[in-house]
Structure 1
Amino acid sequence: MTLASAPIPGPLRWAVLLLRGEAVAVGLVAVWLLWADLTAPTVDLASALLVTAFAAGAAAALWALGGALARRRAGARAPAIVLQLMLLPIGWFMLQGGLGWLGVPLMALGLGVTALLVSTPTTRALGFE
């Protein structure tokens, strides 16, 4: 039996599902931003569209990384971890800004997915051991 034919271990499956869930959530934010860009009076439309494009790109990256990890592409693990660790400063600044109800879960999500991605079953499934 080859490595790719073995079933995907639970931690990797959960990491993929959470990455895809994050992609959908960020994609919805991008759609909302696009709607806001097109309907709200704005002083700097170019900057607003740039932020929207950044959100859409992040959603696409999260979706693609989830797919690559589902196909056991070892090279997708490091960028996925980087994106998850980026949730820590985002959550921290939300916490400082009085949005702890959102910041704390974002930080927990980032740490949780990172833990799933570095777990022993995921490491084995990606061929690092």
Structure 2
Amino acid sequence: MTIDSDPTPVTLRWAVRLLRGQAVAVGLVAGWLIFANLTATTTDVTSALLVTAFAIAVAVALWALGGALLRRRSGARAPAIVLQLMLLPIGWFMIQGGLGWLGVPLIALGAGVTWLLVSPPTTRALGFE
């Protein structure tokens, strides 16, 4: 029996959980986009496929980054932060468009996961200190 002398900090575990939760949510959106593409009567096929492929790629990236962070790969932190910071302008434009009920939580999620990823326990666990 081995004892892990350096357990994964709570901040890193929560960041991974939230990244994976985002991956599942974006994956569900991608599934809905696939359904919409297949059942649409008229559509711009190129645009529909590009939007769907982008959603799938983001879902895969979020899941993979969560896994890499769980394995303490320090190189995964910066791309994960970039994806989280992308939620800030998305949330802002949702607020401006009258969807504050969705925009405010997106901003909070992006800022919160970013904070988890740059917090001192996570920074130490990833070997930046």
TM-score range, shorter chain: over 0.9
* Cα deviation digits, residues 84-115 of structure 1 (max 9, x gap): 00000100111011100000000000000000
Task: Name the count of aligned residue pairs.
Answer: 126
Post-superposition shift, 1:5? Answer: 5.5
Q: Which amino acid aligns with 2:45?
A: L
Matches within 5 A, 1:41-80: 41-80=41-80
Which moved further from structure 2: 64-73 or 40-49? 40-49
Post-superposition shift, 1:43? Answer: 3.0
Distance of 1:14 and 1:88 partners within structure 2: 19
Distance of 2:41 and 2:26 partners within structure 1: 23
1:26 aligns with 2:26: yes
Structure 2: gaps of 5 or more residues: none
1:93 aligns with 2:67: no
TM-score normalised by L of structure 2: 0.95
Alignment partner, residue 113 of structure 1: 113
Identity %: 79
Alignment partner, residue 124 of structure 1: 124
* Cα deviation digits, residues 15-55 of structure 1 (max 9, x gap): 00000000000000000000001101233111101100000
Structure 1: gaps of 5 or more residues: none
TM-score normalised by L of structure 1: 0.95
Q: Which amino acid aligns with 1:100?
A: G
Q: Which amino acid aligns with 1:7?
A: P
Could you list the structure 1 runs, at least 4 aligned residues long, displaced by more than 4 angstroms after superposition. none
Distance of 1:56 and 1:6 partners within structure 2: 34
Distance of 1:41 and 1:95 partners within structure 2: 31
1:9 aligns with 2:4: no
Alignment partner, residue 35 of structure 2: 35
Distance of 2:111 and 2:18 partners within structure 1: 12
Distance of 1:44 and 1:31 partners within structure 2: 18
Q: Which amino acid aligns with 1:87?
A: L
Q: 1:5 to 1:31 in 2, by over 3 A?
A: farther
